[in-house]
Structures are given as structure tokens and as C-alpha cells.
Amino acid sequence: MNVYTVHLKGSPDDLASLERTVFVREGFSWAALVFGPLWLLWNRLWLALLVWLLAEGALLVWIVLAEPAHSALAGLLALMHLALAFEAAPLRRAALTRRRFRTVTVVQGRRMGDAERAFFASLGGHDRVATPEPSIAARSRSAEMVGLFPSAGA
């Protein structure tokens, strides 16, 4: 079960603000681990991207001046990616706070869709999903019918 924080800009009673609701999954981010700076760009984390680029620039200067072993360089880059993967959710929450989103609640779900349903169901009044009426053919079938074929005696 995944845990999501729900961030909202405005009132939960306003439908326009509910459309801009953001769900942030807590925990380790595999996308941030693998893609690093591209993940930062995708999530519009400009300050974190600037820090990332400065750190990579410092590593580049260190490579030119000190000529370290390749294993040391690979280890430092792996640590940078690992740190980003663990800090992905707090970075997104901080960016949302700067954009004047506020944390409304915490919900759980296997996937984000489940968490969204749980959140909107908790609002009350928004949880009524229209269930389709059975078709006329389904209502007119007799109890003896199984599937599309009538029973042998009919």
C-alpha cells in the first residue's frame, strides 16, 4: 500500500481547485534514481535542478584537476542519484508549498487512482458514481436462461 500526500490550492469546496489537486507519493522514487536531472525538469523543480547542475559542475572540475579513479567518480554520481531518489517526495512537497499549495490530508492506495478515489470519496457528495442501469434485454430474460441460450426445455 502506497501513501500519498494530497496538496490543494484553494478550497476543497471549489471544483476548479479540486481539478488542480496534486498527489505526491511518499517513499523512494525509481524515476528520480534513473533519470535524475530529467525528473527534476519534469517536476519543475528549478532550484533543485540548479543545485544538481552545480554539484555536477564541481565534480567535473574535480575530475579535471585531480584525475580521480573512475570508480570514485561512479560512486559519487551513484550517491547523487540515490540521494535524489530518497529526497524526491520532500522536494516536490517543498516546491508545491512555494507555489501556495497546502497539504490537505494523507491517503493510501495501491495506485494513484485508488488514492484519488479515496480522497474524493472522503469529501462527501463527490463520491456518488452513477451505476449504469441494466439493459432492457437483461431485465427481460427469464430465470431459466443461462447466457444467451434458453434452457433445453424451452
Mean pLDDT along residues 91-106 = 95
Beta pairing class for 2-8 and 22-25: antiparallel
Tell me the pLDDT tens digit for each residue of 109-154.
999 999 999 999 988 754 444 444 555 544 555 555 555 555 555 5
Please check the confidence at residue 62 and state whether its pLDDT lies above 50: yes
Strand positions, DSSP E, the chain = 2-8, 22-25, 102-109
Please check the confidence at residue 101 and state whether its pLDDT lies above 90: yes
Assessment of whether the complete model's pTM goes beyond 0.85 = no
Please check the confidence at residue 18 and state whether its pLDDT lies above 70: yes
Q: Please state the domain extents for the chain.
A: 2-140
Strand (E) or helix (H) holding 53: helix 46-66
Q: How far is CA 144 from each of CA 42, 134, 136, 141, 151, rounded to the nearest angstrom?
A: 58, 18, 17, 8, 6
Spatial CA neighbour of 12 closest among 123, 112, 109: 123
d(CA 136, CA 17): 40
d(CA 106, CA 26): 10
